[in-house]
Structure 1
Amino acid sequence: MSQALFNPFKDLIFDEHFCFLTGALTNEKMTVFPEWLLNHFKFGEERIEMMDKTKSYTYADLKVPCSVEVKAAFDALDLKVQEAYKNGFEGMASLDQELLFQWTGRMVYGLLYYEMLYERDRLLKQGEEFELAGALKERFGYFHLMLQSIIEPVSFIGKKPWSIVVFPLKYSSDIFSYRDDAVNLMFQFGVNGFGFIACLQDNGVIRENQNEILEKMEGHVLHPVQFEELYARFHYSDYILQYKPEYKIENQEHGVVIEVETNGKQPVFGLWDENIFAQLLSNYWQVYGIERDDILKFQKPPLSFLENPYSKDFINPESIKLPF
């Protein structure tokens, strides 16, 4: 880990007077979710719960301390994404994946920041010390370093540390679908025209694992029920992934260079348990009234809207009669 750049996870520094990205003293703040996104889809007053479900905030109230430099950098990035968004799938797909990593990472890190604040304050009230496991400190520290690429000379060579997929998606024009798993650094975003899924620190392993279905999808505009199934596949794959991302990080004259290290180790996925996956998938499909028992039926293959269970052919989205 580079010692030259701020790492809040080293000493667990989460304070409203220190910029979340650089550690600089500041009185400035910025929203966790881009303001144009909050305004466009009008979800600023909706509430989001912390992981333990005992604390919630409105999306508009989620703000992180930032330096003027950091706010300007994310404002500039927002303008690029907003312009791309106007052109739907083609616009978003044309964006460099590093920009999508930074844009997505801002929201995921902001939510992670609030989880850290909440847990710290909860433990302090109980007279306990706030601490994180060493593996989480390292993982989140790497993520934070990568996010600093928006303002610092941090570059990536070779294989990228993330899996990001962008695809055409059909939604009603006023629907905005969003999910995250901040602790596992995952994000899902879908609107009329496009959707994308991001695993922000898996070293591209999950995309490789799901490459077969991604290739079958090409040329199709996904139905929302397919989008939810695809994200469930990514999410569950992350859950059973038995792999610790490792990096070679060098301080060179022109900045910090990050390279994915494999050390000859092959990523290993644990056993895919259809019962657990069906339960996860039913959570995503509940809007369609599809329950776990509808997904798993005795002596029948699991229900899928992505692949025909017998031929393994991709299911044409236009053949799906569910609403979108």
Structure 2
Amino acid sequence: MRADGPVVVALDGSPHSALTLDWAVHEAERRHAALLLVRVLDDSWQTMAWSWYPVVDTHDLGTEVKEYLDEQARLVEERHPGLPVETRALHGRVVPSLRDVSADAALLVVGARVRSSGARTGSTGVHVAAHAQCPVAVVRSGPGHPTAVDAAVVVGVDGSSASLVAARLAAREATLLGRPLRIVHARPTIPDPFGRGSLPPVATDDEEHPTHRAATSVTDALRAENDGLEVELALVDDDPADALVHLGTGAALLVVGSRGLGSFRGMLLGSVSGAVLREATVPVVVVHDDG
């Protein structure tokens, strides 16, 4: 990951891509970063089992992808003059291709459709967030996007180094967006008897608990590091993923950390970050701690 790298946005040509692109454009402008538009041409199916090759004109497919990216870049340049925009067609499977391009990026932005029930983010978004080598923003379509001018940036902290990295990124995003920062620390309780999320988080008055004191220290540090930033701490007794999804409803952005696990990271995104990514209805940024 490069702090001075571009904001990379993955487009697939669907109607939802317009929302994903718009979100990425504004993020690039806030960061004073270049914007890189990519689309993956999955041509891995060309090599089939038994070495059978279907007769398909891949040149036409590649031309179509290039024309699509060029048109999107033209629209961005017309509406946002001065923003550096580049395009790149990627060849191969989606997740490995996006992982490779993320190595030089400051942020990778992908889209996800909100579903009426069940898991809200498909497997592609989850796998990209797990494998990418930079923070990943998953932008959702449909209702649930914040309209309140005071909507906060919400981040979960649990004392891990990954959550501290996430908290600092969330503070930066809150500053760039001109939003307050809400830090959530949830102390796990007994399992929800009626299923995940059926009960709202319960605010705790046990502020002397060691983990709560640690969360307070993080909050104080972020206030000191970000002059003028409004920082609020929510201490609750609840399942951490449920608390973040509930308290992040209507947020401008929800940020979670995921512990880096080397080459096995994609297999273990983390129960909290994985659940938040699947169930939240607002844009989510996943941040890895790679040591």
Q: Aligning the two structures, in what range does the TM-score lie when normalised by the shorter sequence?
A: under 0.3
Higher relative contact order (CA 8 A, sep 6+): 2
Normalization by structure 1: what TM-score?
0.23
Normalization by structure 2: what TM-score?
0.25
